[in-house]
Each structure stands twice: as C-alpha cells, then as structure tokens.
Chain A
Amino acid sequence: MSSHPDPKDQGRALLAESTLDEARLLEVLEGGLARGADWGDLYYESAQSEVVAVDDGRVRTASRNARQGIGVRVVAGDKQGFAHTDALELPRLRAAADAARAIADGRGAGTADVGNGELARLRFPAGLPDRYPVDRSPLALPVDQKVGALARLDARCRALDPRVQQVMAQVSTSQQTVLVLRSDGSAAWDVRPLVRIDCTVIAKNEVGKLARGSARAGGRHDVERILDDATLESLATEAVRQALVNLGARKAPAGVFDVVLGPGWPAVLLHEAVGHGLEGDFCRKGTSAFSGRIGERVASELCTIVDDGSIPGDRGALNIDDEGTPAECTTLIENGRLVGYMQDRLNASLMGMKPTGNGRRESYAHITLPRMRNTYMRPGNDDPQDIIRGLKRGIYAVDFGGGQVDITSGKFVFEMTEAYLVEDGKIGAPLEGATLIGHGPSVLERVVAVGNDLEYLKAQGVCGKEGQSVPVGVGQPTLRVNGMTVGGSEV
C-alpha cells in the first residue's frame, strides 16, 4: 500500500486557504442552475509549475507559476454557458455562476436537480484508481538539484563530441489539484503530478552546416526518475547522436514513397491522422471525415487502435477526467473497423453514447472538450527488421517534430526530424527534414505490416485544440505504410 497523501485531504487544505469548502462551492453551482438548465459542473483548480533551464552554457532561468481559479458551466441541451474567475471570493463566484446561467434561462428541458447546497448531497465515488502515486509534489525537490542535473547534462553533451555547439535543456515540473463538482451531487478530487525533461543539441561541422538533435523523458511520477545519471546519460547520447546523424543528412526527395515508421513517437501520425477525427464533438456535428462511420472499415485489418488513460505513470494517464468520469482504455479501431469515439459528457449524452473519460481542459479557465490521452496501436506479429528488409525503395522515418490535421478534409502533415533512405532493404543515407502529408481516413488502409515492438511510454506530446494545450502520450510498433507523399526538395 502506498502511503502518499489522500487527494481529498490535500485539496481541502488548499481550498480552506481561500476560506472556501465544498458545500459553499456546491451552493455557487446551484445558484447557476437557472430554470431550464439540464446540468452543470464546477471545477476548482490549484496548480503550481516550475521550469529550470540551461541555455548557452548557463543554468540561468528558473520560473515558478502558481494559478488557482474556478470555472462554472451550465448546460441546456447543446448550449453551454461558461464563466471563470481567479478571484476566489463568494460574490465573484456567484457573479460567474450568473454569467454562466444566462445562456440556459428557459431554454433547456430543465432537468437539473437543484438542492440547497447541502453537503449531504455530495457523493464521492469510492474505488478510484491511483495511477500516479507520489509521496510529495515534484515541486518540492530543491531547485539546486535540478540545476545540478542540468549542468551535468550540458557538460555531458559537450563532452560527447566537439561538434556540439549549443545545448538547450529544461526540467519542467507541475502539480495540479482539481475538484470536479457536478449538479447531480457527485464530486471527485484528483492530484496530478507531471514531470518532463527536454534536451536539444545543435551541432556544427567543418563547413559550418548546423543540425539539431533532441531527446526527452517524463510522465506522471516522481521527478527524481528523470534526473538520475542513467536518464541524463541516455538523453545526452540520444540528442547528440541524432544531431550528428543530421549533420550528414542530404536533401530529402520529393514524391510518393512507401514509408516505414519507427516505434514510439512516430505514432503522432495516429494522433493526427485518426485521433482528432474520432473526438466526439467533431463526430456529433458531422464535421469530421469519420462522422457517422461507426462499424465501417477505416483501416487495414492489421490495425487496432486504442486511447488509454489507464497506464500508470504515463503522461496521458488520468484517474478521472476533468468531468469526474473515470478514465479507461477506449478502443477506437478494432482490426480495421471503427468501433468507438472519444467522448466527454456533453457530446456523449447528445449522441446517446457513454462518456469515455476523455473530457479534458487545460485549466479552470478553459471549457471541457473531448481530448486524447495516450493513443496507440496494438502490436502485430512482424519482426521490425523484416519490415525494413522488405522495403525495396522508400523512407525509414524514426523521429518527428509536430504534426497538424484538418479534421474536416482529413488531410494531415508532420515533420520528419530523423529519417533515412532505404534501398533494397538496407538503411542508407540520412535525409534532411521534410514534411509527410496524407489523408487520415485512407492512410491506415495502406498499412501493410505491423511490428511486434510496441513502444508507448516514451512520448511526451502536447496536444493543441481550440487554443487549449493538454499533455498526451502516443505509441505504436514499427509500421509500414505504402504510398505516402514526402515533401522533400529533390525531384
């Protein structure tokens, strides 16, 4: 049994600093449930974060942020009124609730169950999972230990090769404490740690050519785990290796190629190509290329894709989502067939489906949306080496920068940051960065091989949607996709 503190006790202590408690907040929420409201929720958040960074050979940046606030949402049919404030005083909270309820006045079915702010109405579900047990906040680690680790990382990168010109690395830690109070009286606390270390190296060769390499680690766990010598050594080795590979890279070709995607982070392709298009809001409104296609075949039968919030310690892990729904593992595509969408409460209820624990928000100041957690493809049977050997002429893409998708047309892009030309099954020259472009609803139909080497714990993604950023994971085994467009500059 873990001895770490109960989230409820931690949260209540924070709330008490503002002379608030759950009963007063329930009263505020009920004040917002005007005639016509169907339901509502109130979200209290208190979060601390810290970034310490080395740049230009000096650990010269440390910044710490504290934020707290409350968001109130009132729902009537498909309409949402939302208001938030960082002033944790009852009159301001009541004003926010009034602003939120203006939208619902007389418009919905009016099914909200409004009580009188009695604490007895509150129900805290028992048996919630405990996926990120830490004994203390990652911010409790003294700053000098982060400084020391970054200085060692910087020195190690420079020692590995004289061509290393610059090292930019940072340790980011945060802890978010949230309370979700719903108008049906259910309530839940969650305390979410998140840690991350990033290392980027710029190398320069004899003729002045510059190239970049990067590596990263993290998750919802203790900060010590990303600052130990083994982790620092592997980050330095990986970032320097990639920069040196890229120093030797030649211009990528332009045209249509068969592509082998390496395991792990290249699954950003799944996130962009199919993940966003399977979010409940787009599917409900008919604006996604995947709208109304449940039961249809949308991928090769080699593909089974899930969105999983239940991986302990993972960057995308959640005990509950930001609406209090327990986070689970949601199957999206099973043996090539579309079987499910990712849902928050609003879209699930309007579509007659169940919430899947995908209701997420960046902070109290943002409205909840259906969002991904860790989206990955389950492993197949192929040996990854055989997949590469089977490629007559094509591209082997190992690492990527960011990606982007147009949900409606299904077009997606992402940028290769480490890739090689493959000829006659042999890995050849490294290629300078180029964009890959494809069409989400058809790209997975051209998956012809799936490796047995699933990697889904290392990705450190940040997903953006409607101006909100949330941490996510992605994963996949080695994959071969035929006929992708590679945006190089050599015809």
Chain B
Amino acid sequence: MIDATLLGDLLAYAKQHGATDGDAIGVGAVSTEVRVRMGSVETSTRSESHEVGLRVFVGDRSAMVSSNDLRPSALRELADVAIAAAKHMDADAESRVARNDELAEAPTELELYDAAVLGIGATDLIELARAAEDAALQADARIANSEGGEASAGESAVTFVTMGGVQRERRSTSVGVVAVPIAAQDGAMEVDWWYASRRRLDQLPDPTGIGRKAAERALRRLGARGMGSGTMPVIFEAPVASRVLGDFVSGLSGERVARKASYLADQLGKPVAAADLALWDDPLLPWGPASRAFDGEGFASRRLALVQGGVLQAFLTNLRTAARIGCAHGRNASRGVGGAPGVAPTHVHMANGSHDLAGLMREVGRGLLVTSTMGHGTDLIRGSFSQGATGLYFENGEVQYPVSEITVAGDFGDLMRGIVLRGDDLDPHRGVSAPSFVVDKLTIAGAG
C-alpha cells in the first residue's frame, strides 16, 4: 500500500510551489499468475507494482503526472513538471477537486479483502489451473488441444488524498480461474473459454466446473455453417447480453454526453429501453468485483438509478461532467494513476426474468441464439449496432445447427427497447451483467 503520508507530502510540496489545489492517488498491487497448458506449467508470473498519480491545479488550469519511481526527489521533479504544464492549459472552470465539506460523508465500510487469497502460492494456483484445464480436456474426445488453464491471485490497495487533507484508503483481493479449450472436428478448430473471478477464496467455484463449461462452449461451435440474410428474433446469451448492456452503459457516460458523442445525450426522461427494465449503478454490492467504498474523486459511494420503467433517469457523472452537462452529480468518477478523473460504471445488473434458456427458445419459436460476438461495432454516436457473431439457429424452440461468419445489426435504441423477454441466468459476479435476453427483431447478414 502506498502510504498516505507520501501523497500528503507531495501535495504539500506542490502547494509550496504554486499549486492552488490538487489530489493524489497511489495504487499498489501484488499478484501471482500461472498458466498450465496440456497438463504442464507454461508460465509463472510474479508481479509487483507501486504507482503514484498527482493532479495539480493552478487556478482553473490543471495537469497530471504519474510515476512508479517513488523516490521523493523524483516525485518532486514531476510535481514541478505538472505545475509548469498546468499554467499552459486553457482555463476550465468546471474542473476542480472535491471540497472538504463535500467529502464529509464517510464511505461505507465494504468488505472486499480476504486474507485467505494471499495464502495461495504458485503451487496451489498450478493445481487450480490444471484442474480446470484437465476437466476441459476430459470432457470429450474432440477437445484435442488447449490454450491452457490459468489461475491468478492478488491484492491491490488504493490510497487517495486531497490537498484539503481528506484521506481515503481501500484494499481488495481477487482470485480467478480460466480455461480455454480447443475443439476439433473434420479439420476445423473452435476455441472458447469460461472463467470465474471472486474476491473471496471460499466463493471460488470448483475449477472442474469451469473447465467443463468451457469445453461445452467450444464443442457446440463445431460444424458451424453460414446462414442467409434476413430479419428475425435474436436471443443474446448472458455473456453477450452483458456486452450489449455494457455498450448501452457506455452511452450513459457523462464524458460522452458532455461532448454530445452519445445518441442518449438528449434522452433524459425518455424511453430508452424496454418498459419493464430498471437499471441501477451499485458500487456497494457485498464482495462485488466492482465494489468500491469511494469513487475516483473521494466521494462516498451511493447507488444511482439510471433507468426506471425503461425511462432514462440519469447519466454517469463525475464533478466535471455533471457541471458541464448541468445535471445532478452521480459520484461515478473512475481514477487511474495516469489521468484526470474519468467516469465508469460499477455494477449494473439487469434483473432476471423467469425463463431458462430453453424456455426462451420455446417462447420465441424460430430465431438465432447468439453465443458470442466479435468486434466493436456499436456506434454510440449514431446509435447503431453491427457485430460479427456466432450462434445456434433454432426452430420450434429446438436448436437446429450452429452458425458462424454472420453479422447481427440494427438500430441500438430499437434493440434496447425491443428486449421482450429475459432469462434467469444473470451472473452476479460481474460488473455490468445481464441475463440472456430476447430482442424482437434484428438483421442477420451471412452467406447460406
């Protein structure tokens, strides 16, 4: 952990040398990661890092510096660079550091740290990774190769200090397992993967389950063919549905909205999603992967309603973007050591519906179940969606054959408003997460 005193001293130095305000962040992290491939250890990596980021203001002008060279002389030299640079910037009245009175509310105590995670050594991680990969390799004779199994464990600590003297600290652990098997048949290969990541060791699922699930996902891709172009209902399977929801949430970023780079910029109070959808940003989920007691500007975290009854309620904002847009401040600042505060969601979970995946297919009858997408084809400025996809074509609620080398496209606003049914398979151990959902109509392009 980076000592708050180090940051406080740096801010005091900056103040003496012309900075009128500022804040500083320190991030320390230690982790071990191993990869096992075809049963034998391939890489073992030990990482440690300590980094400091400083933001200084000279009046309404600001600049940032960051470094992993923590010698006080080196940090002071960088502070000088920041102060000199700030003076050359354009004035930006909306940018500022949170005031002490705004930070008076104490952050909720959040448990995110499990000492047991740190008790895991490379040998234990090798066993976890091997168990996951083994389970995948044993699942079926067609699992002939593997990109491996990986396991990692580590901790990180964040220290935040303002020139006004407010100090915040948080630390967290995480442990995870991944399996990436390859299925082969008739000379064609298909790769897929599955993973789990938790903050607590005793919550980590059985690695063999992860391996088997990864194998199932690779196997069901085998024998894929193309399909002809047309429009039809589409089911996005939970991991893909989560990606789509992630794109939507990106469109709520105050940074995009402030520069009018989101089709949602003028949609406050309007229907932007299916009428039965409610979405919250929740930074306070117990042991949540994206939980944090305070945001990137030091504010005590709170839940924020983004969408209620399908109607847009709020954007994700930090101090600057809230002022720039002229809306309520959402306490959604993200902060890396290297840049000014940004904006990011924590947990945004779309609630489960009542059908399992088979039930969704039965309800829809004929359509495409999209099991993975490729590319970054959501244009949030225009609000259009076009992604490469693979999936399973189904009729009468039954899977007919796997398809690949197709694209799925449509208007992104229509897509979000066209979510007519939701599954019951939400993964609560992800940040932005959705259950499988049905979109009434999208355009498929393909050869078939």
Residues of A within 8 A of B (CB): 55-56, 58-69, 78-87, 96, 99-100, 102-103, 143-144, 147, 151, 165-166, 168, 202, 204, 209-212, 252, 254-256, 285-287, 289, 365, 367, 401-404, 406-409, 411-415, 432-435, 437-439, 483, 485-491
CB of B90 closer than 8 Å to a CB of A: yes
> Chain B 371-412 against A: per-residue CB contact (8 Å), 1 yes, 0 no?
000111101011010111010000000000000111111110
Tell me which residues across on chain B come within 8 A of A209, comparing CB atoms.
382
A66 touches which one: B45, B50, B67, B258 (CB < 8 A)?
A: B67
Tell me which residues across on chain B come within 8 A of A60, comparing CB atoms.
61-62, 89-90, 92, 95
- CA A65 to CA B63, docked complex, whole Å: 11
Given contacts A254-B444, A435-B386, A485-B446, contact A86 B68 (CB under 8 A): yes
CB of B443 closer than 8 Å to a CB of A: yes
Q: Which of the 9-residue segments B79-87, B108-116, B167-175, B310-318 touches chain A?
A: B79-87
Tell me which residues across on chain B come within 8 A of A401, comparing CB atoms.
376
Contact B260 A437 (CB under 8 A): no
Residue among B84, B188, B231, B376 having the largest count of chain A Cβ atoms under 10 Å: B376
Given contacts A62-B86, A87-B48, contact A489 B411 (CB under 8 A): yes
CB of B138 closer than 8 Å to a CB of A: no
Contact A202 B84 (CB under 8 A): no
Q: Which of the 9-residue segments B35-43, B238-246, B345-353 touches chain A?
A: B35-43
- CA A129 to CA B46, docked complex, whole Å: 34
Tell me which residues across on chain A come within 8 A of B90, comparing CB atoms.
58-60, 147, 151
B387 touches which one: A64, A103, A485, A487 (CB < 8 A)?
A: A487
- CA A78 to CA B411, docked complex, whole Å: 48
- CA A295 to CA B60, docked complex, whole Å: 63
Interface size class of B (residues with CB under 8 A): 35 or more
Residue of B nearest to A92 (CB): B48
Contact B48 A435 (CB under 8 A): no
- CA A82 to CA B45, docked complex, whole Å: 5
Tell me which residues across on chain B come within 8 A of A435, comparing CB atoms.
375, 377, 386-388, 407, 409
Apart from A166-B260, A489-B386, what are 7 other A-B pairs with CB-CB below 8 Å?
A61-B64, A202-B381, A402-B375, A437-B407, A485-B447, A486-B445, A488-B409
Contact A65 B65 (CB under 8 A): yes
CB of B340 closer than 8 Å to a CB of A: yes
Residue of B nearest to A486 (CB): B445
Min distance, Cβ A81 to any Cβ of chain B, angstroms: 5
Sampled A-B contacts (9; CB under 8 Å) = A63-B340, A85-B48, A86-B69, A102-B122, A254-B445, A401-B376, A409-B189, A415-B376, A433-B379
- CA A435 to CA B40, docked complex, whole Å: 39
Residue of B nearest to A291 (CB): B189
CB of B301 closer than 8 Å to a CB of A: no
Tell me which residues across on chain B come within 8 A of A82, comparing CB atoms.
43-46
Contact A432 B384 (CB under 8 A): yes
- CA A103 to CA B90, docked complex, whole Å: 53
A56 touches which one: B189, B258, B445 (CB < 8 A)?
A: B258
A63 touches which one: B64, B88, B147, B409 (CB < 8 A)?
A: B64
B88 touches which one: A143, A415, A485, A488 (CB < 8 A)?
A: A143
A96 touches which one: B46, B62, B375 (CB < 8 A)?
A: B46
Contact A437 B388 (CB under 8 A): yes
Residue of A nearest to B84 (CB): A143
A404 touches which one: B81, B82, B375 (CB < 8 A)?
A: B375
